[in-house]
Structure 1
Amino acid sequence: MKKFILFLVILFVVYLIGINTVPQYIEAERNPVKAAGPYQISPEAQAIYARLDFISDLHCDALLWGRNLNKRGNQGHVDFPRMREANVALEMFTIVSKSPAGQNMQSNSEDAFDNITPLTIAKGESPWNWFSLINRTLSQSEALKNFVENEGEKAIFVRSKADLEKLIEARKTDKEVIGAMLGIEGGHALEGMPENLDKVYAAGVRMVGPTHFFDNEFGGSAHGQSGEGLTDFGKKMIARMNELGIFIDLAHASPAIVEDILRLSSKPVIVSHTGVRAVLDSQRNLSDEQIQKIAAKGGIIGIAFFDMAVGTPELPNIIASIKHVRDLVGVEFVALGSDYDGSVAVPFDITGLPLIVEGLLNAGFTEEEIKAVMGENVKRFLLENLN
C-alpha cells in the first residue's frame, strides 16, 4: 500500500511539473516569431501609425495555449499588454477544439488522432474537457471572459453593437481600453447538436467557421477529403447563425461550402484569415471569383501573416495580398487576419503591426486606405452587422 501511495504521489508530482512546462514547450515550438522586436519603421510610417484610431485583427488562437493573457508573455504572438503596446483596439480570439495529427493543407481525415486532446490534458484542464469538444469550447470562452474581467474597466468583451460602441467611446479618452471578441474555428465544436450553437452564443461567440482542417457535420473542409458542400445540418446551422447574429467565417471552408453559404446566408460573411490565389496558388486561398462574390455580399476578408497563406518572404506578400483585394474589389473589403498563435511561424508578433503600415505606404496606399485596412473596415463592418 505504501508503495502504491508513493507511486501516486510521484505520478501527481510529474503531472504538476508537466502542466507547468509541457504546454509552454509545445507553444514555443508551434508559434515562433521569425524576427523579434522592437521593430523599426520610418518616421513617416510611424506618424501614420500613431494617428490610427482603430486597429483590429480578425483571427488569433491565443486561448488554446493556456497562457495568462493579462500578462506580457515572452513567447507566442498576442496578449493584452502587447495589444496595448501596438495600440490594437479589438482582437478576435478564436477557439480551436480539435486538430488532426499530420495536419496539412491538402488532405486530412476527421478520424485522425486529435492533437488538442494531449494538450488539453497537459494544461491541467478539467477531465470534463479531455474528450468533449463542446466543453473545451465553453472552457476557452469562460477563459476569455475571465481575462477581460481581470482588466476591470480597461477591457470590454464585445458581444453586441452596444459593446462595440462603448469600446469606441472609451478609447476616445483612454487608449488603454481594449476589446475582445470570440469566434470558433470549426463547427465540429458543436458536436452535431443544434442546441450547442445557442450555448456558445450565450457564452459570447459571435463568429463560427463551419469547418477547419477536416470534414465535419457541417460539410467539407478546404483541407478535407470529401470536397462536399453544406449538409442538411450545416444548412440549418447557417440559418440559425443568421437568426442569432453569429458571423459565418469562410476560412478553411471547401469551395462548395463557400458557394452554398454565399447563396444561403442572409448576412454578409467574414473570411477571418486567408491568402489570395493571385499571390499564392493554394487550395487554402481565395480565387478572384470568390473574392468578388464575398465583396458583392458585403463581406470582409482578413489577410493572414504566415507563409502557407501568403508565401515567403511574408511581409511583401502580405502587402501584395492586401493590394490585390483592393485593386480587385475595393479597399473597403480587406482587413488584417493574422492567425496569430495558430500553430504558425510569423514574421513579427502583434507589436510589429507598424511594419504593415510601412509596407502599405511603400506600396502607394494613401493614409485613408491604410486606416481602412488596419481596422476602420472592421469597425464599420461590425457596426453595420452586429446586433
Structure 2
Amino acid sequence: MMHDRRSFLALAAATAASPAIPAAIAPDPLKDRIVVNALGGLGDPNIDGEQDDPFTPRVLAEAHASGLTAVNCTLGYVSGPEDPFEKSVRDVAETDALLRRHSRDLLKVWTAADIRRAQAERKIGIVYGFQNGAMMGKDASRVDIFADLGVRVFQLTYNPANQLGGGSMAPGNPGLTEFGREVVARLNAKRVMVDLSHSGQQTCLEAARASKAPISINHTGCRAVTDLPRNKTDEELRLVASRGGFVGIYFMPFLDPHGYAHASDVAAHIDHAVEICGEDHVGIGTDGTVSQIDDLKKYSSVLAAEIAKRRAAGISASGEGPDTYPFVVDLRGPEQFRKLARLLGERGYKPRQIDKILGQNFLRFATDVWGA
C-alpha cells in the first residue's frame, strides 16, 4: 500500500512517543493476536465535515499500524431529519462502494471466518452495524432486507426511546415494545447480533430474555463503578453473560464520574466486568477511531459545537459535555490497543486472558451468532 508523507509523519510521531526500546528487540504485545473493536470506526478526526471517502492513506496506514483486525462501524440512521430507512439503505450501498475501492486494505465481514480471513490477509475487517432501530418503521420484515445487505449488528435504540424500546435517557425506563419483540425474533432468525448498547435497563433486560440467541452490549461501562445512565448495571451485565453474550468496554467519558476518563478507568471497568461476567464474555468497543488527533485545542472547539448539536437534537447523555473528550486521553491513537494490552498485563492478566479481551471473546460470540 502506498503511504503519503502525512501518513509517514503520523506513524513516525507515534513511534517516537513509544518507549525507547530498539525496534529489533521490542516485544509487540499484539503479535499474532486478533484485535476486534466491537464499536468504533475508521476516519480522520482532524478533517472537519463529511468526507466522500474517509479511508484516506493516513487512516488506512494508522489502522494497520494499530494492530486492528476488525471493527464494527456505525452505518445508517442515528438521528436527524432524514428518512431513517432511505438513509440506512444509502449508507450501506455507499460503504459497499468504498470497500470495493479499498479492497487491498479492507474487507466486508459477514461471518466470523471473515475476521480470521482479515487477519490472515493483513486487512481490516469492516462489520456493518446500526445504532438505532428507527429504520424499521413499523415493518419487521425490513430486518431481512438489511441482513441480506450485510448488516451484522443491530442496536435496538439510541439514547431516546423509539418504536422498539427505551434508550438510556428515556424518561420512565420503558421496556421492550411488542414490535421490539417481533424485531428481536426476526434478528435471531436472520442471525444478526442484537446489541443493547444505549438501551435503558428495562429494555436491555427484557430483550436479553426475549432473544433466543446470545445478545451483546458492544460499548458500555459498568454502573457499579461509575453511576451514569450510559453504563450497565450488574444485573444487565450478569444476564447478558449468563446467556452466552458479549460486553465491550468503551473508551468514553462515562467511565469517570466527572467525564475525564483515563486508561486506569478503562482497566477498572474491565476488571469489574470480568468479575461480574467472567473472563469469556468481556472485550472492548472503544466508540472511537484509531487515528491520532493532531491539535487537541482545535478539536475542542469542534467538539463543543457537536455537543451543543447533540443536546439540541435530544440525543446526548449524562456525562458528556463540551469540555469532556469522547475518548480516553492517554489511550488513543494507533498505540491504544498495545497500551491496553501492556496495562492489563501489568494488572496481572495472563496472556490468554488478554487475548480474550482484545478479540477472542468477540470472535467466539460472533461465531455463535453469525456462524463460523
Q: What is aligned with 1:354? A: 338
SS at match of 1:152: coil
**Number of equivalences:** 313
How far residue 306 of structure 1 moved from its aligned partner, in angstroms, is 1.1
Name the aligned partner's letter for residue 368 of structure 2. E
Q: Given residue 346 of structure 2, which amino acid in structure 1 is its aligned partner?
A: N
- Partner SS, residue 66 of structure 1: coil
Name the counterpart of 2:132. Answer: 186
Name which of 35, 41, 51 aligns with 2:31: 51
Pair 1:294 & 2:236 matched: no
Q: Which residue of 1 aligns with 2:18?
A: 40
SS in 2 for 1:183: strand
Counterpart amino acid of 1:241? L
Judging by fraction of residues, say which structure has more helix. 1
- After alignment, is 87-96 or 58-67 more displaced? 58-67
- Over 3 Å counting, the alpha-carbon distance change for 1:277 and 1:145 in structure 2 is same
Matches of 2:243 and 2:369, distance apart in 1: 12
1:206 equivalent in alignment to 2:152: yes
For residue 98 of structure 1, give the secondary structure of its aligned residue in structure 2.
Answer: coil
The correspondence of residues 77-88 of structure 1 with structure 2, limited to 5 A, is 79-88=59-68
Q: 2:279 maps to which residue?
A: 331
User: Does the CA-based 8 Å contact 2:42-2:55 persist in structure 1?
Assistant: no
Greater shift, 140-149 or 205-214, is seen at 140-149
Shift of 1:154: 3.8
Distance 1:319 1:266 in 2: 31
Report the counterpart of residue 316 of structure 2 in structure 1: none
Give the structure 2 partner of residue 132 of structure 1.
Answer: 83
Which of 353, 356, 363 in structure 2 is aligned with 1:372? 356
Letter in 2 for 1:278: A
Give me the whole-angstrom Cα distance separating, in 1, the residues matched to 2:281 and 2:268.
Answer: 15
Residue identity in the other structure for 1:225: P
Alignment correspondent of 1:25 = none
| 2:91 counterpart of 1:71 | no
1:246-257 to structure 2, matched below 5 A, reads 246-257=192-203
Residue 345 (structure 1) aligned with residue 326 (structure 2): yes
1:350 to partner: Cα distance: 4.5
Change in Cα spacing, 1:282 to 1:144, as seen in structure 2 (3 Å) is: same
Greater C-alpha radius of gyration? 1
In the alignment, the residues of structure 1 paired with residue 142 and residue 114 of structure 2 have an alpha-carbon distance, to the nearest angstrom, of 29
Are the aligned partners of 2:71 and 2:126 in contact in 1 as well (CA < 8 Å)? yes
Residue 355 of structure 1: CA displacement? 1.4
The percent of aligned pairs where both chains have the same amino acid is: 20
SS at match of 1:146: helix
Q: Which residue of 2 aligns with 1:33?
A: none
Paired with 1:324 and 1:340, the residues of 2 have a C-alpha distance of: 22
How far residue 66 of structure 1 moved from its aligned partner, in angstroms, is: 3.4
Counterpart of 2:27 in 1: which secondary structure? helix
CA change 1:264–1:48 in 2 (3 A) is same
Q: Report the Cα offset of residue 351 of structure 1.
A: 4.1
Rounded Cα–Cα distance in structure 2 between residues aligned with 1:291 and 1:367: 24
Q: 1:97 aligns with which of 63, 67, 77?
A: 77
Q: Structure 1 363/41 Cα, relative in aligned 2: closer, same or farther at 3 Å?
A: farther
The answer on whether the counterparts of 2:152 and 2:192 sit within 8 Å (CA) in structure 1 is yes
1:153-210 deviation line (CA, Å, top 9, x unaligned)? 54321113xxx325424633x42x2211111001112233323222211221111111
Equivalent-residue separation in structure 1 for 2:234 and 2:132 (angstroms): 24
CA distance in 2, matches of 1:278, 1:43: 39
Larger displacement relative to structure 2 (294-303 or 221-230): 221-230
Q: Cα RMSD (Å) of the superposition?
A: 2.6
Aligned with 2:269: secondary structure? helix
Q: SS of the counterpart of 1:248?
A: strand
Letter in 2 for 1:314: H
Equivalent-residue separation in structure 2 for 1:136 and 1:329 (angstroms): 36
Query: Structure 2 counterpart of 1:380, which letter?
Result: R
Give the unaligned 5+ runs of structure 2: 1-12, 44-48, 290-302, 307-324
CA distance in 1, matches of 2:20, 2:339: 9
Kept after mapping to 2: 8 A contact 1:84/1:178: yes
Please say if residues 42 and 63 of structure 2, whose CA atoms lie closer than 8 Å, have aligned partners that are also in contact: no
AA paired with 1:40? S
Partner of 2:8 in structure 1? Answer: none
Which residue in the other structure is 1:320 paired with? 268
> Which of 315, 331, 347 pairs up with 1:363?
347
CA deviations on 1:78-105 (whole Å, 9 max, x unpaired) are x433221112111101125233xxxxxx
Q: Which TM-score applies when normalising by structure 1?
A: 0.74
Give the match's secondary structure for 1:171.
helix
Deviation, 1:358, is 1.9
Structure 1: unaligned runs, 5 residues or longer: 1-35, 74-78, 100-113, 118-130
1:240-261 deviations in Å (ceiling 9; x for gaps)? 0110111110111111111211
